Structure formats: C-alpha cells, structure tokens
Structure 1
Amino acid sequence: MQTKQKVVIAEDHNILRAGLRSLLEDMEEVEVTAEARDGVEAIQCVREHLPDLLLLDLSMPRLNGLSAINEIKASYPETKILVLTVHKAEDYILESFRAGADGYCLKEADRADLFGAIRNVLAGKRYLDPGIADQVLEGFIEGKQSLKQQSSWDTVTQREKEVLKLVGEGRKNKEIGDILCISVKTVEKHRANIMEKLNLHNASELTAYAIKKGLVVEE
C-alpha cells in the first residue's frame, strides 16, 4: 500500500480551510495532518508534523504567508510549499518564489488544476497557475517587473515588512517582539528604519501604508 504524503493547510478563513480539507480527501495519495489559521501556526504545524507539502495562503493575521515561507524554508527546506491565494499581482508572485515557494496557485482554480498543482509540487516541479503565467512572462519580456527598478519599498527587508504588518494590525512593540521573538529595542529599531526608508512619520502613516501594500488582512 502506498504511503500517503502529509499535507498541512494554512488558511485563516474557517470555511475555506474546511473546504480544502474536504477536497483533498478525494486525493488518495495525500493526507491532511494539520491545519493552521495564520503564519505562526503554520510554522508550528510544520515543526510538529514535518509535512511533505504546506498549502499556504498569503494574507493571514499575525505572520503573513511570505514571512512564513522564509521561516519554514530556512529550517525545513524539504517541505514543499504551494501558495494558494487570490493575489494575481506580479509583486506577490515574484516575492513568493524569491522567498522559497515551490508553486503558486490561484483560489479561483478548479479542482483539477488544484490537484495538478499539488501533484506537480510534490513531484519536485515548480508550478505557476496558468491564469497568471502569461502576464508574468510578459513582465519579463517587456522588462516591467519591479525588480528592475528599485523603489523605496524594495529596500524594506522581510523582517521590516513583518514588523510593518503587525504595526498595521495595531499591535504594540512588546506584542510584536513576542510574536517575532525579538526584543522591544529591536522592534523599535525596525520601526525607525521603516519610517526612514518610506518617509513615514507616525503610527497612523505606518498603518495606512501597511493597508495600501496589502499587508493587513481586511475583514
């Protein structure tokens, strides 16, 4: 009997998470071993269950998907990560793969495409949703990808983006430090760096910028 490959689902919406679990029950070769509601829980689930695949949303509370990818790939590179998201913008796609994602699939994908994406990634192949493959290719051909023209946002580090997201959620420095396992002093330093790089001057402007960049989950 073939050993089933372990899958963890990280999705903050309860109904979507339950729907994904139900869908994956139709795949004989995989088994959902755990579920996570945010990036912090996703990292914990990977640490505990060592899954073959993490099915990961990008927009989640506390720690977002991009940050989770960085953390997980640094410690558990053998775990494959398939991003499942609504985001079609090129920035999200490029940043996901740059962080270490193995595949990128849209939530509007049908059942067959999702299963195909999972099987490709588990087989060690890269996967990019057909619905966005053309636009990404066009971006490279026309030289329009953001990587070619560095903006102030491009100078913000991944850790600084994590801090900015949490500031945008209204969290205090101590709480941010507890979530990211860093000192309050380090949080303050990151905030100062963000404000200098982005020419922002207070918490309200930081929050507005985090919302503009899609770092904060909107209810």
Structure 2
Amino acid sequence: MNDGKIKVLIADDHKLVRDGIKGYLESDPDILVVAEADNGDDAIDLLSHYEVDLLLLDINMPGLDGVVVAEQVKSKYPEVKVLALTMLNETQYVRQMLRAGAEGYLLKSCSQKELLKAIHTICEGETYFGQDVMKSVMEAMTPRTKLKAPRFYPVELTKREKEVLKLITREFTNQEIAEKLFISPRTVEVHKRNLIEKTGSKNIVGLVLYAVENGLDKD
C-alpha cells in the first residue's frame, strides 16, 4: 500500500456513527480515512475517485444495501477489501455478505481494539469475523443453511487441489499446508489462486463455502 497507510472508505447512513468510527480509526497512525458515504450508491461512486484499500460497510442503508454494494465492489474493484460493520447478527445477513465476497464481519458493539485488529488482519490478506458473530458464520457455512439454489456448482479439481482445499477449510496457514503436503508455500498460493478461479469464488471465504456445499471439507 502506498506510503504504508491503509486507506479506508466508511459507508454508513448515520453521521454520528461515521464520526465515531473515524475517531477510532484515526487513533491508528497506519490507517487513513479517505472518504465517507451515507448511502450505497455514493460508496460505489467514491471508489472511482479515491484510492481505497478497505471499505467499511454498513448493511442497512438507503438506496443500495450493503450486500448489493459488496457484490458490485467485488465485481468492479476486486482489489478492495470489504469489512461489514453492522448491528445485524442473523445468519441470513452473514451468509449474504460472505457470498457477496466480504472478507470480514463485525457487529457495531465491537471494541475499538477489535475493529483495528480486523482492518489490519484483512489488509494482510486474511479474513476476520468477530467472536460474537462466529455462530452465525458457522451456520452460514453449513449445508443445512445453504440456499435452495446453490451458487457454487461442482467443478473438476485435481487431487492436490482437493487436498489444499480441505486444509483451507481447517484454517491451515500457507506454511502449515506446505509442510503437510511437502510442497512450498509459493506452490500453495498458486493452488489457492487456481481454486478461486476454478470455483468462481471471490476469496478464501468463498472457497470454504464451495467446499462445504460440495462436501469437500470432509475426509
């Protein structure tokens, strides 16, 4: 990232909330709030005018809701990370945001420390989900809660790709996968990229959803 700072766009329809979040983020010298939006349409428009690393996104907003915004952002600006920050803890919203490509999901009741940790974690290429939404995240990733018309359809994967995918669902790091399969971390990263492309996923969360929906997470 340019000059080492994480550039954030805050999208929330309540100014008081935006001001509070901005105050939290500005306490971190490595984070810069470059723009704010009070609705989904403006959030997408602002991305064409500012360099943004992470979109901090509410779900319930006027105009386009957070789910639609996340989908459009991932389509138009795939390099932008999306972190949902909302009051909604229902499984349906978590599932929708995961499938839209969000890298993280937090409740607005989270602490300043957790919010900053989530932003740094996501911008380092990982995913982050608050402890208070983990139950909903796990329910969103179980076959019994999947949509009637699955978005992820089976594709032909190699034996090695299936091995890597299974370890991803078990939260193995690149280094741990490499050691387990006797390959290099760089090779693991290549397999991950190929898996994302083959399955039509947007990120690692999408890969996990794909694995669960197609039974590839089990021995």
Q: Calculate the TM-score normalised by the size of structure 1.
A: 0.64
Deviation at 1:144, TM superposition (A): 3.6
Q: 1:23 to 1:140 in 2, by over 3 A?
A: closer
Q: Which amino acid in structure 2 is aligned with residue 20 of structure 1?
A: I
RMSD: 2.1
CA contact (8 A) 1:50 1:79 kept: no
Tell me the distance in 2 between the aligned counterparts of 1:68 and 1:127.
19
Partner of 2:85, secondary structure, is: strand
Q: Which amino acid in structure 2 is aligned with residue 100 of structure 1?
A: G
Matched, 1:100 2:101: yes
Q: Which amino acid in structure 2 is aligned with residue 45 of structure 1?
A: L
Render the CA deviation track for 1:24-80: whole Å, top value 9, x for unaligned: 111111100000001001001111113001100000001111111111111110011
Partner of 2:82: 81
Q: 1:95 to 1:81 in 2, by over 3 A?
A: same
Partner of 1:51: 52
CA contact (8 A) 2:91 2:139 kept: no
> Which ranges of 4 or more aligned residues in structure 1 deviate by more than 4 Å?
138-141
For this pair of structures, how many residues does the alignment match?
150
Identical counterparts, % of pairs: 35
CA contact (8 A) 1:5 1:30 kept: yes
Render the CA deviation track for 1:186-212: whole Å, top value 9, x for unaligned: xxxxxxxxxxxxxxxxxxxxxxxxxxx
Tell me the distance in 1 between the aligned counterparts of 2:21 and 2:53.
17
Tell me the distance in 2 between the aligned counterparts of 1:137 and 1:57.
21
Q: 1:146 to 1:131 in 2, by over 3 A?
A: same
Partner of 2:125: 124
Partner of 2:47, secondary structure, is: helix
In structure 2, the gaps of 5 or more residues are: 152-219
Deviation at 1:135, TM superposition (A): 4.0
Q: 1:139 to 1:91 in 2, by over 3 A?
A: closer
In structure 1, the gaps of 5 or more residues are: 156-219
Partner of 2:4: 3
CA contact (8 A) 1:2 1:29 kept: no
Render the CA deviation track for 1:136-185: whole Å, top value 9, x for unaligned: 325656x54142xx28xx99xxxxxxxxxxxxxxxxxxxxxxxxxxxxxx
**Equivalences for 1:189-204 in 2 at 5 Å?**
none
CA contact (8 A) 1:82 1:118 kept: yes
Q: 1:50 to 1:131 in 2, by over 3 A?
A: same
Partner of 1:42: 43
Partner of 1:162: none
Deviation at 1:2, TM superposition (A): 5.1
Tell me the distance in 1 between the aligned counterparts of 2:122 and 2:26.
18
Tell me the distance in 2 between the aligned counterparts of 1:71 and 1:99.
8
